[in-house]
Structure 1
Amino acid sequence: MAEHTEHTEKNRQYFDNLAKSYKDSFKPVLDGICRNVTARRTWISDTWTDTEAGQGKEIKVLDYACGTGVVSLTLAPFVSKIVGMDVADNMINQFNQNAHDAGFGDKMSAIKGDLLSETLSDELSGPEYSDFDIVVVSAALHHFEKPELAMSRFCQRLKKGGVCLIIDIVPDHHRMAHDFGEAEHTVTNHGFTEEQMRQLHEGAGLNEDFRYQSMNEQFVYQKDGKQRTLTFFLSRGQRA
Structure 2
Amino acid sequence: MISDALRERKDWIGIEWASLSEGEVKRDVKLLDYASGTGNITQALLPYVTTVKGIDLSEKMVEEYNRAASTSGIPPEQALSVVGDLCSASTDIPDHFRKPEWYSFDLAVIGLGFHHFEDPGLAVQRLSERLRKGGVLVIVDFLPFGSEERDMGEVAKTIKHDGFTREGMERLFGDGGMGAVKFDVVGDVTMELKKGTVVRKMFVARAEKL
Q: Provide the TM-score with structure 1 as the length reference.
A: 0.80
Structure 1 partner of 2:157:
185
Q: Which moved more, 1:112-121 or 1:155-164?
A: 112-121
Which of 84, 100, 103 aligns to 2:70? It is 100
Asked if structure 2 preserves the Cα contact closer than 8 Å seen for 1:171 and 1:177, the reply is no
Give the Cα separation in 1 of the matches to 2:204 and 2:3: 11
Aligned mates of 2:108, 2:166 — CA distance in 1: 19
| 1:235 equivalenced with 2:205 (yes/no) | yes
Distance in 1, Cα, partners of 2:126 & 2:68: 27
Aligned to 1:63: 33
**Residues 34-53 of structure 1, C-alpha deviations (whole Å, 9 max, x = no match):** 1111111111123111259x
2: CA distance between counterparts of 1:221 and 1:101? 27
- Write the mapping of 1:112-123 to structure 2, written as runs, cut at 5 A: 112-118=83-89, 119-123=92-96
The equivalences for 1:36-51 within 5 A come to: 36-51=5-20
Matched, 1:75 2:45: yes
Q: What RMSD, in angstroms, separates the aligned Cα atoms of the two structures? A: 1.7
Deviation, 1:176, is: 6.4
Question: 1:55, CA displacement in angstroms?
Answer: 4.9
- Counterpart for residue 181 of structure 2: 210
Matched, 1:219 2:189: yes
8 A Cα contact 2:15 2:135, kept in partner: no
* Per-residue Cα deviation, 1:133-180 (whole angstroms, up to 9, x for no partner): 0010010110000111111000000000000000001113xx565323
Please say if residues 76 and 104 of structure 1, whose CA atoms lie closer than 8 Å, have aligned partners that are also in contact.
no
Gaps of 5+ in 1: 1-31
State the percentage of identical aligned residues: 29
CA distance in 2, matches of 1:70, 1:153: 22
Q: What secondary structure sits across from 2:201 in the alignment?
A: strand
Give the alignment of 1:148-159 within 5 angstroms.
148-159=121-132
Moved more, 152-161 or 224-233: 224-233
Structure that is richer in helix per residue: 1
Question: 1:121, CA displacement in angstroms?
Answer: 1.3
Gaps of 5+ in 2: none
